[in-house]
Chain A
Amino acid sequence: MKIILNGREEEFEGETISVSEMLVLKKFSFRMRIVKVNGRLISRDDYGSSVINDGDIVQMFYLMSGG
C-alpha cells in the first residue's frame, strides 16, 4: 500500500495499517504529536483502532514544548 505522509509518498507492506503501526515503522518515537488521516484528527487513544488505507493522506507533526 502507498500513502502520502507529510506530502511524500510512502510504501508499506499489506493492504491496511493502523496509525500505531505506522508510527512504529516510521520510528516516530517522540510522544507529543498530532496525527491527521484524510483531514480527520486522530486522538491518541484511537491510534490502535484507526486504520490507514491505500491512497490515504496522513499528516503528523510534533508538539515541542516552549512558548
Chain B
Amino acid sequence: MKLSEIEDHLKNFRVGIAGAGGLGSNCAASLARTGIGTLVIADFDRVEQSNLSRQYYFPDQTGMLKTEALKENLVRIRPEINVLTFQGKLDRENIPSVFSGCDVIVEAFDRSDMKEMIVESVQNELPGIPLIVGSGLAGWGRNEILKLRKIDETLYICGDEMTEASDDLPPMAPRVGIVANLQANTVVEILLGISPKTR
C-alpha cells in the first residue's frame, strides 16, 4: 500500500485520545502525521513547566489548557486534521458520549484507577470499540520488555505491564514516547484492517 493510499484510507476515521499527557500528546502527534481524519482529545489539565520533559508541548504554551495547546500543535503538524476537544474530567458518565462515533480509543491516563475506570466504561458502554491501554512505561532503558499484547479484538495493552511510575522512577520522554507510538502503531494497524463506516 502506497503512503498516499494509506493517508486516503486513514482520513475517514476518528480516534479518541483519553488524556493529553505523555502518552496522549505524543500518540496524537504521531497519529496526526499518519493522516487520521479526526482526533477527539479529552483532558482537564493545563500545561505545566514540568510536563515539557516528556509531553508534546512547548515552553510558550505553559499555562494553556492541554486540549487547546495540543490542538494548536496538531494543526501545525497537519493543517487539514479535524481536532475535537473535550475540556474536563472524564468519568463513567461522560465517556460514552465523548467518544461515541470513535473507531478506536487510546487510553492515555496517568493514574491506574482512571485506567481501570475507562477500561470498564468502554468495554461495557461502547462494546466493540477497540481500546488501546498504556501500562508500564516509567523510567528508562529496558527496550526489550516494551511490547503490545492483544487481549482480544477490543482490548490491547502497550507497555511492559510491570513498571509503576514514582518519584524515583519518573516517566521520561524516550520510554513514554515508545509506548505512545506502540499505541499509535496499533491504531494504524487496526484502522488499515477495517473499512470506514458511514456516519
Task: List residues of A whose CB falls within 8 A of some B CB.
Answer: 32, 34, 36, 39, 41, 43-44, 59, 61-67
Q: Check if B110 sits within 8 Å of A36, measured CB to CB.
A: no
Contact A36:B137 (CB < 8 A) given known A65-B111, A65-B112: no
12 contacts between A and B (CB under 8 A): A34-B116, A59-B152, A63-B112, A63-B119, A64-B135, A64-B164, A66-B138, A66-B171, A67-B19, A67-B24, A67-B115, A67-B134
Residues of B within 8 A of A67 (CB): 19, 21-24, 107-110, 115, 134, 137, 171, 176
Task: List residues of B whose CB falls within 8 A of some A CB.
Answer: 19, 21-24, 107-113, 115-116, 119-120, 123-124, 133-138, 149, 151-152, 155, 157, 159-165, 171, 176
Closest to B152 in A: A39
- Interchain Cβ contacts within 8 Å, total number: 77
Residues of B within 8 A of A65 (CB): 110-112, 138, 164-165
Q: Which of B120, B136, B138, B159 contacts A41 (CB 8 A)?
A: B120
